Structure 1
Amino acid sequence: MTPAELERLAQRLRRGEVPDGVRLLKQNPVRRVALADGIALKLFLVPSRRAAREARALRKAAALGVRVPTLIDVGRDWVATSFIEGRKAVRKDLPRILPVVRHMHEQGMLHSDLHLGNLLVAGSEVVLLDPQKARFWPHLPRILRNWELGRLAYSLGEPLPAELSHVSFWRELRAQQHWRSRTRRCRKESSNFTRFTHAGASGYRRRDASPEDLVRTLETLAQAELIWSRPWGAIYRSGSWIVKQHASVRAARNAWVAGHGLEMRDIRTARPVAWLDRWLIMEDAGQDVVAWVEAHFGEASAPEREELSRKLADLLADLHRRGTYHSDLKASNMTWSPGEPARLLDYQRVRFGIRVSRRRRIRNLAQLNASLPDQLPGELRERTLQRYLERCGYREHGSKLREAVISQSLQRSHRWHGC
């Protein structure tokens, strides 16, 4: 295709048109990528110098011997490259990825956005994509190499590969940045969320939630099942949703944000669907742990009892490993059933950080232990604590933590009265 033809194609893509013979490869609020005659044309929808930066980075990378798509042409807001047939890189490709990254760093190139989504496996080659943020140095400092490897390590998921154990700090830093960035998206127009208004009030909803169904649910709460009520709020069950009325708009908004923050950290919850004024609408995840224990624990099999212990320990360990503290972590705020993961039902009092202190760990463990009914025997509680320690890699001797948890549990005077 000639430069004039590429410009005309970019203009049509800008208008939202897809000509015959052109395949749309990717589309989001920031850019569109289309394939035509073996050429990948990337159109930037937001005014910027991204096209020029990416073209410059592609030229420099190719000159250094770094494998990137071949630059064909560049316009004011688009860049055209050769299309490379391949597949997205996955975790098992790490032995092939690391030599490519090492060579890139030795040549003084920092990709700046290195993750599996920007790596393409084409036959025996690994190709670097989307280098618009790349930077070049005569010599790349070790701290920047580790910073970039930490970003790559985060995209691999868990567990951290042994080859990248030396960048665990940078991986954790990237995780925190990513979680914060993605959490904020639930309070603005984005690919997954949109504004929700009704009766003069406003909030946000998931795009896959029908606004008509949400409005109908709020308008028919008088016929819904009332689960809990206090002067400052109430909880209703309406169809497949739970509707919570919070004490204030701020409390409902905090719960909405916290629910999505937990989801970004891969912590299971009763998923929030919409927030409007003082109302939070969420999925109905079933009965809470206390109700399940009181109704089914006596007749539950030994494997089911062990599964309950494991799932509760895993949920609490995942919270703390990801720097998340829940100031009201009671069994009545969690749900579980055999074959399912444990989930959080209430997350208004969730706080996100980098580390959870020893004092807060003990408090959460004591809250959970004290809120579990006496039907749970002491040995099952002991195994829950032991699995928690193993899962979150806590370094303190278990006996010291155990004594502190028991002491605080008994002080709480909740459902548990001691072994």
Structure 2
Amino acid sequence: MTLTTELQQAGREPRLPMQLPLDEGNTLLVERWLRILPGKRLVGLARHEGRPVLLKLFIGGGAARHCERERLGVTALQQQQISTPALLAEGSIEGGGRYLLSEFLLDADSLQQRWDALSAHQPGGAQAMDLLGQALSIIGHMHSKGLMQTDLHLGNFLQQGDRLYMIDGDAVAVLSPGQPLSADQAQQNLAIFFAQLPPDWDEFTDLLLIQYLQHNPIALNPDTLSVSIGTVRRQRQNDYLSKSLRDCTQFSVARSWARFTAVVRSETERLTTLLANPDQLFVAQPLLKDGGSSTVVKAQTSGAPVVVKRYNIKGFGHWLKRFWRPSRAWHSWLAAHRLQFLGIATPAPLAMIESRFGPLRRQAWLITEYYEGEDLLAHFGPFGDQSPDENTAKALLKPFEQLVAARISHGDFKATNLLWLQGEVILIDLDAMQQHHSETSWRQAWARDRARFIRNWPADSPLARWLDAQLP
């Protein structure tokens, strides 16, 4: 078996440590895998002649083409004086694979890592604005030199000390070397960058562009850019939801004749026991909810506690209505990931299971993060005898404004389906949630949602009157 074939067949678990023979007769010691695209590409930390290096292995179809694109992209960045890790070597491995070695930046963090480490991601926050401004500076520099990074996310920026590097040469397009991109080309590429931010950030686009325009002073059309951001964000959302149902870097998905399971890959280890037999929890545990159509329990894992919701089949007639379509767990799984993508607070969806007989669905389970918050009926009281103060009002209105902007209806706005936790409103029970593409259906659904939420309190109460005046 050739080395390329071995790596292709190793899936997500290629052996370590690994001795990799190089063209010049030396060997490379792979110490750690940093990223694995099974059967296609591997990125690892390796040691070459005593120094740490970054190894990229191309092992899938078109390995030579992808390796060449990576090399040409890095070379283009270097030629235009845009910081990127230096290339050290290139060659082939047994069986048709290719490798590239480049400088390994010690003590460097990606901007995505720095973004995740921020204490708050409030739109317009100083630290977050500074981080995004750094990225836009290097994007502006690239655009002024006729280059475009087509996979424009924060993980492709590395910071080492005060110096920022662009990586992933495979996604670097050379459109007009040494000459600025056209305004249209620049706007389309900027839309890819801004679309990765939650919609709450859209109002800060013009302010963030100041950093960009200092490096590439071209005339941009704010309205056109805004439309492009919306288009790209919808595409990104659809791609993300599709990924949540297939095996990929972020999600582990397994299907058989009897079962479909999707789990956030980073949560697989701590949820192993629950995934094997979720019904074990519903025997001795005190239940959070014991209804006919669903049963909910809190479960302890090796990490934080989780909530397991079982969607029951009440009888043969109920099964006849449900077996041919995706389960409510499936629907809630997608709805929760949609909200997370849009920056709307909801407990993180961790796993979803459907019991099946071939294509026919039966019981299903949804596992989510557990929140200790109190529901809004408890928080505001059943009589709604006072309107909220300024800070509470802002927090209360925020999710409704976000849902309106995204054209999403909840479908069951009982006050018990919204939690109050540390000054934030969190949406739960997403079984009936829907994102609308028709303005007519959206307005009808929103009118029902709005009326249902206000109806949680007496019509003549101060809180109900305040909500009727303030809700979108």
TM-score, structure 1 length as denominator?
0.73
1:18-68 deviation line (CA, Å, top 9, x unaligned): 369765372233532314314322224544432221112222332333333
2:110 counterpart residue number: 88
Residue 261 of structure 1: how far off its partner (Å) = 2.2
Is the contact made by 2:30 and 2:44 (CA closer than 8 Å) also made in structure 1?
no
Alpha carbons 2:281, 2:297 under 8 Å: kept: no
- Choose the corresponding residue for 1:274, options 338, 352, 366: 352
One of 314, 329, 334 as aligned partner of 2:398 = 314
Q: Does 1:237 align with 2:297?
A: yes
- Aligned 8 A contact 1:44 1:50 in 2: yes
CA distance in 2, matches of 1:212, 1:97: 42
Q: Determine whether 1:211 maps to 2:272.
A: yes
* TM-aligned CA distance change 1:150 to 1:353, over 3 Å: farther
CA–CA separation in structure 1 for the residues paired with 2:191 and 2:399: 25
Paired with 2:257 and 2:160, the residues of 1 have a C-alpha distance of: 54
The whole-number CA distance in structure 2 between the counterparts of 1:17 and 1:242 is 36
**Alignment match, 1:264:** 341
1:374 to 458, 462, 466: 458
Identify the residue that residue 290 of structure 1 maps to in structure 2. 377
- SS where residue 420 of structure 2 aligns? coil
Secondary structure of 1:190's counterpart equals coil
Label 1:215 to 1:106 Cα distance change in 2 as closer, same or farther (>3 A). closer
Partner of 1:251: 327
Question: Per the alignment, do residues 288 and 216 of structure 1 end up closer, same or farther by CA in structure 2, a change over 3 Å counting?
Answer: farther
8 Å Cα contact 2:327-2:364 kept in structure 1: no
Preserved contact between residue 334 and residue 345 of structure 1 (Cα < 8 Å)? yes
Counterpart of 1:350 in structure 2 is 433
After superposition, give the CA deviation of every residue in 1:235-277 in whole Å (9 maximum; x if it has no partner).
Answer: 3335453423156251322222222222222222244332223
1:335/1:342 contact within 8 Å kept: yes
2:231 to 151, 173, 178: 173
Q: Which of 86, 89, 111 in structure 2 is aligned with 1:70?
A: 86
- The 8 Å contact of residues 221 and 238 in structure 1, kept in 2 or not, is answered as no
Aligned counterparts of 1:83 and 1:133: Cα–Cα separation in 2: 19
Partner of 2:192: 151
Q: Residue 141 of structure 1: which of 156, 171, 182 is its match?
A: 182
Larger strand proportion of the pair: 2
Seen in structure 2, the aligned counterparts of structure 1 residues 212 and 97 have a Cα distance that, compared at 3 Å, is: closer
Amino acid at match of 1:255: S
SS in 1 for 2:76: helix
8 Å CA contact 1:119, 1:127 repeated in 2: yes
SS, match of residue 187 in structure 1: coil
Q: For 2:346, what is the secondary structure of its paired residue?
A: coil
Q: 1:65 to 1:192 in 2, by over 3 A?
A: closer
Give the counterpart of 1:60 among 57, 76, 81.
76
Distance 1:38-1:154 versus aligned 2 partners, 3 A rule: same
Q: Which SS does the other structure have where 1:346 is aligned?
A: coil
The alignment's TM-score, normalised by the length of structure 2, stands at 0.66
The letter for the 2-side match of 1:234 is S
2:143 equivalent in structure 1: 105
Q: In the superposition, relative to structure 1, how do residues 17 and 223 fare at CA in structure 2: closer, same or farther (>3 Å)?
A: closer
Letter matched to residue 180 of structure 1: N
Contact 1:110–1:136 (8 Å) recurs in 2: yes
Task: Kindly provide the amino acid, as one letter, of the partner of residue 39 in structure 1.
Answer: V
Shift, 1:122, TM fit:
4.1
| Distance apart, 1:173 and its partner CA | 2.6
Question: What is the rounded CA distance, in whole Å, between the counterparts of 1:238 and 1:122 in structure 2?
Answer: 43
SS in 2 for 1:65: coil
Structure 2 CA distance for aligned equivalents of residues 335 and 204 of structure 1: 25
Contact 2:419 2:428 in 1 (8 A): no
2:289 counterpart (216, 227, 235): 227
Cα distance change, pair 346–45 in 1 and its aligned pair in 2 (3 A): farther
Match of 1:341 among 417, 420, 424: 424
8 Å CA contact 2:459–2:465 kept in 1: the answer is no
Residues 342-386 of structure 1, C-alpha deviations (whole Å, 9 max, x = no match): 22222122223679655544443223222x222993356526853
Distance of 2:86 and 2:423 partners within structure 1: 48
Aligned pairs for 1:3-18 (under 5 A) are: 15-18=14-17
Compute the displacement of 1:151 (Å). Answer: 2.0
Change (3 A) 1:77 1:347: farther
Aligned length: 373
Q: Greater shift after overlay, 100-109 or 350-359?
A: 350-359
Q: Structure 2 stretches of 5 or more lacking a match?
A: 20-28, 92-96, 116-128, 210-220, 300-305, 313-317, 356-362
Deviations along 1:300-342, one digit per CA (max 9) or x if unpaired, are: x987x76654433111222233x24125141246232352532
1:42 aligned to 2:83?
no
Alpha-carbon distance change, 306 to 280 in structure 1, aligned in 2, over 3 angstroms:
farther
Structure 1 pair 234/354, CA: closer, same or farther in 2 (3 Å)?
closer
- 2 CA distance for matches of 1:215 and 1:19? 33
Indicate how the Cα distance of structure 1 residues 187 and 115 shifts in structure 2: closer, same or farther if over 3 A, else same: closer
- The answer on whether the counterparts of 2:415 and 2:453 sit within 8 Å (CA) in structure 1 is no
Unaligned runs of 5+ in 1: 1-6, 390-419
Q: Which moved more, 1:107-116 or 1:166-175?
A: 166-175
Name the SS for the 2:171 alignment partner.
Answer: coil
How far 1:95 moved relative to its partner? 4.5
- Summarize the Cα distance change of 1:338–1:185 in structure 2 as closer, same or farther, 3 Å threshold: closer
